[in-house]
Amino acid sequence: MENTRMAISLPDWPGQDEVVTRIERLRENLATAKIDALLVTSQHNFEYYTGFRTLFWLSDTRPLFAVIRRDEPGATIVASRVEEKNEHSGRNPLVRPIFYDGFTDDAIVAVGQVLSKLPSGSSIGVDYGRDMFGRGSMALVDYLSGDPNCCTLTDAADLIWKQRVVKSSHELQAVKNACHIATEAFFEGLPDLRIGMTEYEFGQRLKQRMIGLGADSVDWLPVRFGRGGRAYPQPNSGVELKRDDFIWADIGVRRADQISDLSRVAKVGKATAEQEDLYGYVRAVTHRLAEGIRPGMTGHDAFTLFEKLWSERQLTRVSSAGRVGHGSGIALTEPPSLMAGSQEVILEDMVLHVEPKLEAAGGVFQVEEVFRVTASGPEFLSPLAPEKLPIVDL
């Protein structure tokens, strides 16, 4: 990957053919589920199925929607009149824009007019549900539910995930690019560290490096200094770096339509033999877990494998949010969850993350890796973490 070229080149977004293929696959799934149309409200799903991009997602007053019907090709998007000159409008002949004047209430009326063309009593799937961040308001639900001739609303999250969790070659390459940016920025940024530097300053320096390497945005970057026992998702703060601290970062870099999610650690000053040993052990378990995952396994199966690997030593319980891995793609975290009881089936061409974390011996040990699932084993999309615990001499 040529990062200098990437930094100044336009990101590689999915092409028209890929968007059309996604729509046609969705229509097949709608028919199987006996759902007449899908109403798309969230940015991730909207861009996935239409290829239409705009910065107005930051505005809550001019919502965008898309409607995909199982009985007609293509998609209809409902957008504010201000999008009429958007160069993405009309680029794909199978993505048809309808513009409204005004704000949220006017957008809802426009959506209702599109859906009113369906037969009375049609089943409409909405992207409100599991691991979805559907956008809209109660006014949208009330408007559609209040029309006796309109439709029956149903949760379409599982139907959407059935498609989104399996990645195309474009998506896999975009994830790989994002992971390379994240990893390179972290290790090239370690020499910036100084005793007394705050988590906030180091996080800002890392963001600058990532943008310089081609990131379109850095959506997720918690940085922690210390020896474990901290709240990992909290915003970066004024905590200062001290001697013998560990540096932990969880990096969500977005390049085009995909995002990285990987953790890397380093230590200030010489590591103890125990710390070096624990780093190597956590790294080995992480890689062996990835190497043991195959299509057809469930999230529970993967977690059971992890427990077997982890139990080879009498260590403290893994520090995690109830799971040791997950999927990703457009979103930072996507199905499946690698956790006890998960019956989600792992499929070929999923992107998975494995991320056991251990807090012990005055440090935090985690080397989250990202890989494509194949029948012959993992295809790692993230550059593998170093074999030895990285040391920062200050």
Stretch 30-46: mean pLDDT, rounded? 97
Please tell me the pTM assigned to this model. Answer: 0.94
Do residues 81 and 99 lie in contact, with contact meaning Cβ atoms separated by under 8 Å? yes
Of the chain, the end-to-end C-alpha distance in Å amounts to 31
**pLDDT in the model for residue 133:** 80
Stretch 154-166: mean pLDDT, rounded? 97
Which uninterrupted H or E stretch holds 291? Answer: helix 273-292
* CATH class of the domain whose range is 169-392: alpha beta
**For the segment 122-144, what is each residue's pLDDT rounded down to a tens digit?**
999 999 988 888 777 788 888 88
Do residues 202 and 189 lie in contact, with contact meaning Cβ atoms separated by under 8 Å? yes
Stretch 7-31: mean pLDDT, rounded? 92
Which range has the top average pLDDT, 32-46, 136-150, 310-324? 32-46
How is the chain split into domains, by residue range? 16-164, 169-392
Q: Is residue 333 scored above 80 in pLDDT?
A: yes
Tell me, rounded to whole angstroms, the distance of Cα 375 from its chain centroid: 23
Stretch 151-179: mean pLDDT, rounded? 96
Stretch 3-7: mean pLDDT, rounded? 58
Provide the 3-class DSSP secondary structure of residue 225.
strand
Strand 95-100 relative to strand 75-80: parallel, antiparallel, unpaired? parallel
**pLDDT in the model for residue 1:** 44
**For the segment 86-100, what is each residue's pLDDT rounded down to a tens digit?**
887 668 899 999 999
Query: At the topology level of CATH, where does 16-164 sit?
Result: Creatine Amidinohydrolase; Chain A, domain 1 (3.40.350)
